[in-house]
Amino acid sequence: MAPSRAGASALPVAVAVALLAVVAAVAAGGGHRTMASHGEGANIKVSPGPPAPTPAGGSADQFRGQARLPRFAAPRRYELHLRPDLVACTFSGTVAIAVAVSASTRFLVLNAADLSIDRASIRFQALAPTEVVFFKEDDVLVLGFAKTLPLGEGVLKMDFNGTLNDQLRGFYRSKYQYKGKTRNMAVTQFESVDARRCFPCWDEPAFKAKFKLTLEVPSELVALSNMPVASTAVAGPIKTLRYQESPLMSTYLVAIVVGMFEYIEGVTSNGTRVRVYTQVGKSSQGKFALDVGVKSLDLYKDYFDTPYPLPKLDMVAIPDFAAGAMENYGLVTFREVALLFDDKSSSASTKQNVAITVAHEFSHQWFGNLVTMEWWTHLWLNEGFATWMSHLAVDSFFPQWNMWTQFLDSTTTALRLDSLEESHPIEVEIHHASEIDQIFDAISYEKGASIIHMLQSYLGADRFQKALASYIKKYAYSNAKTEDLWAVLEKETGEPVKDLMTTWTKQKGYPVINAKLKGNDMELDQTQFLLDGSSGPGVWIVPVTSGCGAYDKQKKFLLKLKRDRLVIASQCGDRKKGANFWTKLNINGTGFYRVKYDDELAAALQNALETKKLSLMDKIGIVDDSHALSMAHQQTLASLLRLLYCYRGEADYSVLSHINSVTTSIAKISVDATPGLAGDIKQLFIKILLSPAEKLGWDPKNGESHLDVMLRPLLLTTLVQFGHGKTINEGVRRFNIFTHDRNTSLLPPDTRKAAYLAVMQNVSSSNRLGYDALRKVYRQSAEGEERLRVLGIVLESLNLIFTNEVRNQDAYIVLGGVQIEAREIAWNWLKENWELISKTFSGSSLVSSFVKAIVPLFSSNEKSSEISKFFATRTTPGFERTLKQSLENVRISARWVEGIKSEPRLAQTVHELLGKP
């Protein structure tokens, strides 16, 4: 599953406080339905791991509060018949499950939620249950029979009904326009534990089974599932579609989509049919994704030395979709903005995001679908590999995009989250289904991908690929744990993979390596890095790379101890003789760790940076490490500003993207730490970024690179944010022309966000013209990407979250527009609307977005205490970890503020740098 990337870098709001004077009234939210219950649930502490086989005796209560379903019975095959009603937004169904009973028991225990099950219809073979008990808190249905069930295979049947909900999970409804009218489509989203909301099932990844689906739908609609249609029977307004039986797969990968669609198609080199389904009239926007999809299937077939096992692979654009995309076997579902690309209305960053998302989901067809994690503890095996593989694939298709340099975005995102005490190991124990959604985060995705990148760099690309192919072949159509992967890699390469990688997957965090010169040696000391300034107990086996004076003299070794010594004389020679001496650890950022250099090493590296001796990746690594060390109060902000000044005139997109992140972070913290100096700090950042921005200008140039096209809006947006008058005025000028001529060449898709933000600089409660013009653009735009650009700008949009103007899936984009000037008002809004938020987004991971967007805007311990007190009685397992991480970030910012306040030479440094020619 791909995270929601669209609009993730939503624009800040410059005048949010003034806008709140004109906030609209809050509309009513949606509801939530639960399953008809034949028993009482209770909140009981649960334990990890599958229970042991249960004897025939005992009561149903023994299955309450268990983390895993018992293993004494397992499904082998599902025959599922569903009848969705797209007008009433309900569905009915029948399921017949071939169940293998392997131990003595009189119970069958499976999952169900939000369903009404017809008790009278339940049969296992000819036996009717004497007990039907539902534990609501656990989504567990227990069927008790009067006598011990026979060993071997039998069929469990039952009828059920449900609602096509509006929660973007389970079997739900999405709205779309067809011939001017709003219609409903039916969509499934089952990862992680929501297949149980569509049909009773063993809803855990280890319970793989074959699926044979039958759908009854209106005759004029398109109905898709994992497999091709085997037969169709039409009876008036209803048609019955029977689909081919699937291979063995987990319940979370079952998929159904019913609606009005059109498609385009292509074929891979070995004949697999690939289609892109869209709303009617949009199929041409699927051409780019189709091309990437066909190429991805061919590449992965060769990389894993295993063919794609299904006869077809469909991609479908869904108007309402919580994630970025979902890798359902043979039927991948996407947000529209993550699948569709239009040259006239889409940005270059959207094009890249579509390529990454398609490649991510297609890699899951092997890493996730064919070979599936045994339990959610091993989620990273799915998501870490898909994140890494997507960069490998897109780099192969578009080498000019420098995807491995851009990959450092993933690494730095993970390093930031993993430097919190409230982080978690890659292999995280899951004690209850309600905890699973929280681990779809930067640890499972980006840290997972980063340690794979580190391991591949250590083992070598060819050895790594061959070992992965062996792993896929060994565990095809079954399940695997992290240890299984290490065992295969170790056997194939002869390297101590398990000992090395276990230190990275079973403990949270990562080290900072302190490097000091001692004669002709370098002393290395690793400690666990935490942003709060403390150091944890962790020790890692670290694949260290080092370079000295040039990139053709590299060393690799494993740092296995807390302290060690690296002999650099043979690599560097006598450093006293060479004025250009420098040495760099973690060459090109392939390792998941930070480096803190002593003063001599740091000065030499800064000189190498200024004299353009360093690679793009190392330019990024140095500034990101320095930023983190400053936040942790291990380095002064003044020294970080001096380092940033070395990047003036830098022209590379990836490097400037990181410079942009660091400068934005400093600009925000300076509001609290040095309010009198905040304006000068912004002027310094304008000085650093203005030269490359002026070279690119506002207008695209013939033949310019993809990366320059992405760099232009990045720089213009940042200059507007920092208050650069000339850029703001030009943005307003172009927007005014755009409002009268939407096809003007003066404001192409890539630069519209910058212009929209510029317009907002002049908006106030007494001058709403710019805001009203933006709302008009939003309402009149039919393109999802255009609407998202506007959403991220307007704080007044917060209240639109509860109206039909904003789809639930886009709530987090609105939240991304909250700037720190508006934080107090946004926090009050969050408190006042919390009950409505909880109701509208009940059970959804989207609830976490509200916490993550607003809470970390603060930087005082007093505010941390206030927020903690508010949530003391309102926290649920679905966002508990996110809340703790957000509060920790508030406390880290508070400590950073105090550290900056105590710097005696900060103002002098800022003015000195501003005064340089």
Q: Where on the phi/psi map is residue 168: left (φ > 0), alpha (ψ -120 to 50), or beta? A: left
Cβ atoms of 334 and 316 closer than 8 Å = yes
Q: Cβ contacts of residue 462 below 8 Å, gap of 6+?
A: none
Residue located via tokens 């940005």: 347
**Start-end of H helices in 741-816:** 752-760, 769-780, 784-791, 811-815
What's the rounded Cα separation, in Å, for the pair 21 and 213? 54
Measuring CA to CA, which residue among 449, 377, 462 is closest to residue 411?
449
The pLDDT of residue 649 is 87
Q: pLDDT tens digits, residue range 820-879?
A: 888 888 898 899 989 988 888 776 667 888 899 899 999 999 999 999 999 999 888 778
Handedness of CA 724, 738, 282, 290 (dihedral sign): negative
For residue 70, report the phi and psi dihedrals to the nearest 5 degrees.
-65, 155
The pLDDT of residue 5 is 54
Which strands, in side-by-side order, build the sheet including 542-548? 554-559, 542-548, 583-585
3-state secondary structure of 509: coil
Measuring CA to CA, which residue among 534, 510, 526, 372 is closest to residue 450?
510
Measuring CA to CA, which residue among 523, 503, 583, 509 is closest to residue 549?
583
- Residues catalogued as catalytic: 361
Measuring CA to CA, which residue among 662, 623, 636, 631 is closest to residue 859?
631
**Widest pairwise Cα distance in the chain:** 90
CA 552 from centre of chain? 36
Q: Where on the phi/psi map is residue 915: left (φ > 0), alpha (ψ -120 to 50), or beta? A: alpha
Q: How many CB atoms lie within 10 A of CB 614?
A: 20
Residues of the chain below pLDDT 50: 6-56, 577, 794-795
Determine the residue type at 593: Y
User: Pairing between strand 262-267 and 256-259?
Assistant: unpaired
What's the rounded Cα separation, in Å, for the pair 407 and 54? 48
pTM as predicted:
0.91
Cβ atoms of 522 and 570 closer than 8 Å = no
CA dihedral 257, 261, 262, 265 (to 10 degrees): -10
3-state secondary structure of 610: helix
Q: Cβ contacts of residue 877 below 8 Å, gap of 6+?
A: 432, 434, 435, 438
Tokens of 705: 């690179």
Measuring CA to CA, which residue among 224, 254, 236 is closest to residue 314?
224
Measuring CA to CA, which residue among 594, 578, 574 is closest to residue 586?
594
Q: Give the helix/strand (H/E) hosting 238.
A: strand 238-243
DSSP bridge partners of 75: 99
Q: pLDDT tens digits, residue range 758-770?
A: 988 877 666 778 7
Tokens of 674: 């040095």
Cβ atoms of 567 and 521 closer than 8 Å = yes
3-state secondary structure of 227: coil
What's the rounded Cα separation, in Å, for the pair 601 and 622? 12
The pLDDT of residue 383 is 97
3-state secondary structure of 290: helix
The pLDDT of residue 33 is 26
Determine the residue type at 590: T
The pLDDT of residue 535 is 87
Number of H helices, E strands in the chain: 28, 29
For residue 212, report the phi and psi dihedrals to the nearest 5 degrees.
-125, 110
Handedness of CA 247, 250, 253, 256 (dihedral sign): positive
The pLDDT of residue 874 is 86
Tokens of 748: 């192409």
Cβ atoms of 34 and 114 closer than 8 Å = yes
What's the rounded Cα separation, in Å, for the pair 504 and 527? 14
Q: Give the helix/strand (H/E) hosting 257.
A: strand 256-259
Q: Where on the phi/psi map is residue 684: left (φ > 0), alpha (ψ -120 to 50), or beta? A: alpha
The pLDDT of residue 770 is 78
Report in angstroms the alpha-carbon separations of 116 from 90, 158, 165, 200, 323. 11, 11, 14, 10, 27
Tokens of 917: 């020619």
Q: How many CB atoms lie within 10 A of CB 806?
A: 19
Cβ atoms of 449 and 387 closer than 8 Å = yes
User: Pairing between strand 521-529 and 511-518?
Assistant: antiparallel
